[in-house]
Homo-oligomer: A and B are copies of this chain.
Amino acid sequence: MPSYSAPVKDLQFVLHDLLHLSATPVPGYEEMDRETTEAILDEAGKLAVGILQPLNAVGDEEGCTLENGVVRTPEGFKEAYAALREGGWLSLDADPDYGGQGMPYVMETAAGELFASANISMAIYKGLTHGAVSALRAHGSEDQKATYLPKMIEGTWSGTMNLTEPHCGTDLGLIRTKAEPNADGSYAITGQKIWISGGEQDLTENIVHLVLAKLPDAPDGVKGISLFVVPKFLVKDDGSLGDRNAVSCGGLEKKMGIHGNATCVMNYDGATGWLVGEPHKGMRAMFTMMNEARLAVAVQGLALGEVAYQNAVGFAQDRLQGRAVTGSAAPDKPADPIIVHPDVRRNLLDQKSFLEGARAFSLWGATLIDAAHRTGDDEAEAMISLLIPVLKGFLTDKGFETTVLAQQTLGGSGFTREWGIEQFVRDARIAMIYEGTNGIQSLDLVGRKLGLNGGKTVMAFFEMVKTFIKENEGDEDLKRDFLDPLKSASKDLQAAAMYFMAEGTKNPNNALAGSYDFMHLFGYVAMGLMWARMAGAATSALANGASDTDFYEAKLATGRYYMARHMPATALHLARIETGAEPVMTLDAGQF
């Protein structure tokens, strides 16, 4: 059975040594000093380790069941969800006007990593409700907000997002679910939605479905999609639950992983719903919550990598096989622990150096969201919009790879269910697919985000890298080990962007064929910037006489590993990008 311990120290390092949370002029941040965030994260960690993690394998083994329309979540999930609710973890960053605690989103993100590491299936129930709350809060009427938000934030009701239909996922313009007006201003919703996480479950008293559907007069395509709120139980004027609505779970998907999360086929048979926001503007409402939802999925990639890594390290420190080639490390034992072997260390450092960089990247992203939401900082809003596809695509691709590497550390044990690592691999796989496949993320990056504000946002990113390098190149060690590789990688990224500009205008496929490589190239540069900043922070801490030299020196060594052994990948991605459309477009569809 795998174990887990909350990486509070690493989170604290990022929040304070790197992001200087309480010194940042964002409302609410001033209260987030070291002691406060440590107390919050310690509590989240206790719940994650003590209650959620022990149910993780149970959830995988047992899965969810559907009987007579009722979905039963695995043994213990109901109680664990209640513990999340009672601990206030469902309302952490929610609007105080509706009963939330109003904390910064960065704290929701930090705590979210712990919950996702401990039990991803449970974390998804929580995450979907968070997204539905955000969408309703931004686009719902005052009446809708008063009706739904307090109960959802309190956690007695949950929320879902209903987008996909059997014939369309990515291309939502094709949806067929209909919304026909009733005399009383409500709508009758009819259609089938699939892959609805938590569409039905036994954790909450009511489920508030947000559903994309088409009005009778809707224009074709994505410009004709409207958003509706469709509660499982209709809500009476006094707020109590009324009749069962005509929405039901028609089946549960059997999946590779996240078995503890109910993935439902949802049938809407003239269910009563109410329009959220304006007619035909449903996609806009989706976009509102998209940055947060995609960042949360990025963190899932990191989170599953982290728990897999922890168990790989434990195995490598315990398992005795072979001898260190430079002389035994444990001559009194029949063999040395395998962590002495260079290739085992290479494997573990690939994991560790990614995870620590990814943690910084995702929490930085969360502070940009806070800045955008809490101070109306348009540049922060633009920057996070640019970075979101990189965060989602890169962190989930590499997070999955990390679980695979961790599994490899365990050899044959990694393939057995008993050791539990293989579950992390299966669970991590979905993060590359949902909330927009990573291919779609790369199109979003190259097709929309690169040109954001006439290219000013991506220029601001390059400027940020340049400025950091300039301000810090006086430190020779930092320059050689961190800034020089970062500069070189950033040049590759700029060259790729230039290539797209020059060649993409001639033929858009010249850009689109390289979109996936560009997303990864961007990921490395962002990770390199994070590592350079963390190295600067660790160097300062050591210079200032920090007592925990071991921690800061390990941070520097891990960063040097990433810069030396991973950053050179940017040249490869650039080389691929510069081959353009031809290699990709030559074959006819029938020649594959």
Please report A residues at the B interface, Cβ cutoff 8 Å. 164, 167-171, 174, 194-195, 253-257, 313, 316-317, 320-322, 325-326, 329, 334-335, 337, 339-349, 352, 400, 404, 407-408, 411-412, 414-418, 422, 425-426, 429-430, 432-434, 437-439, 442-443, 507-509, 512-513, 515-516, 550, 553-554, 557-558, 560-561, 564-565, 568-569, 571-572, 575-576, 579, 581, 583-587, 589, 591-592
Return the contact of A343 from the options B339, B343, B422, B515 (Cβ within 8 A): B515
Q: Contact check, B512 vs A425: say whether CB atoms are below 8 A apart.
A: no
Report yes or no: B437 in contact with A584, Cβ–Cβ below 8 A.
no
Measured CA separation A412–B422 after assembly (Å): 20
Can you list 6 pairs linking A and B with CB atoms under 8 Å apart?
A194-B412, A343-B439, A343-B513, A345-B584, A404-B429, A408-B432
Contact B572 A568 (CB under 8 A): yes
Q: A554-B591, A571-B571 are in contact. List 12 more A-B contacts (CB 8 A).
A: A171-B320, A174-B321, A253-B416, A255-B415, A256-B425, A342-B515, A407-B429, A408-B433, A415-B429, A557-B587, A560-B586, A568-B575
User: Given contacts A321-B170, A352-B592, A589-B337, are A509 and B412 in contact (CB under 8 A)?
Assistant: no
Nearest CB of chain B from residue A441's CB, rounded to whole Å: 10
Contact A326/B509 with A171-B321, A174-B335, A592-B348 known, Cβ cut-off 8 Å = yes
B349 contacts A408, C-beta separation under 8 Å: no
Q: Contact at A550–B591, with CB atoms within 8 Å?
A: yes
A430 to chain B, nearest CB (A): 5
State in angstroms the CA–CA spacing of A400 and B443 once bound together: 25
Q: Do A342 and B512 have beta carbons less than 8 Å apart?
A: yes
Residues B408 and A255 in contact, CB atoms below 8 Å apart: no
Q: Are A339 and B256 in contact (CB under 8 A)?
A: no
Are B325's CB and A508's CB within 8 A? yes
> What residue of chain B has the Cβ atom nearest to residue A557's Cβ?
B586
In the bound complex, what is the Cα–Cα distance between A412 and B168 (angstroms)? 11
- Residues A334 and B174 in contact in the complex (CB < 8 Å), given A346-B516, A407-B429: yes
Q: A321 contacts which of B168, B195, B339 (Cβ < 8 Å)?
A: B168
Measured between beta carbons, the chain B residues less than 8 angstroms from A439 are 341, 343-344, 347, 408
Give chain B nearest CB distance to A136 CB in angstroms: 25
B-side contacts of A560, CB under 8 Å = 583, 586
**CA of A206 to CA of B64 in the docked complex: distance in angstroms?**
41
Q: How far is the CA of A434 from the CA of B256 in the complex (A)?
A: 22
Instruction: Give the residue of B194, B321, B561, B575 whose beta carbon is less than 8 angstroms from that of A169.
Output: B321
A321 proximity list for chain B (CB < 8 A): 168-171, 174
Give every chain B residue within 8 A of A553 (Cβ-Cβ). 591
Chain B residues positioned under 8 Å from A322 (CB to CB): 170-171
- Contacting residue for A583 out of B442, B564, B592, CB 8 A: B564
Chain B residue contacts of A170, Cβ below 8 A: 321-322, 411
Contacts A349-B587, A438-B408, A583-B349; A325 near B433 (Cβ below 8 A): no
**A585 to chain B: closest CB distance in Å?**
7
Q: How far is the CA of A284 from the CA of B335 in the complex (A)?
A: 22
Report the minimum CB–CB distance from A367 to chain B (whole Å). 28
Are the CB atoms of A415 and B438 closer together than 8 Å? no
In the bound complex, residues from chain B placing their C-beta under 8 Å from that of A509 are 325-326, 342
Question: Are B335 and A416 touching (Cβ within 8 A)?
Answer: no
* Residue of A256, A317, A322, A352 with most partner-chain B CB within 10 A: A256
**Known: A164-B412, A412-B169. Contact between A513 and B589, CB under 8 A?**
no
A416 to chain B, nearest CB (A): 5
Report yes or no: B343 in contact with A512, Cβ–Cβ below 8 A. yes
Contact A345 B565 (CB under 8 A): no
Task: Select from chain B the residue with minimum beta-carbon distance to A166.
Answer: B413
Given contacts A174-B334, A585-B345, contact A255 B579 (CB under 8 A): no
The chain B residue with its CB closest to the CB of A323 is: B171
Specify the chain B residue showing the minimal Cβ separation from A519: B343
Distance in angstroms between the alpha carbons of A568 and B587 in the assembled complex: 22
With contacts A325-B509, A442-B343 taken as known, whether A583 is within 8 angstroms of B571 at the C-beta atoms is no
Q: Are B576 and A565 in contact (CB under 8 A)?
A: yes
Most B CB contacts (10 A, CB to CB) among A418, A434, A571, A575 go to A575
- Which chain B residues border A313 with CB–CB below 8 Å? 592
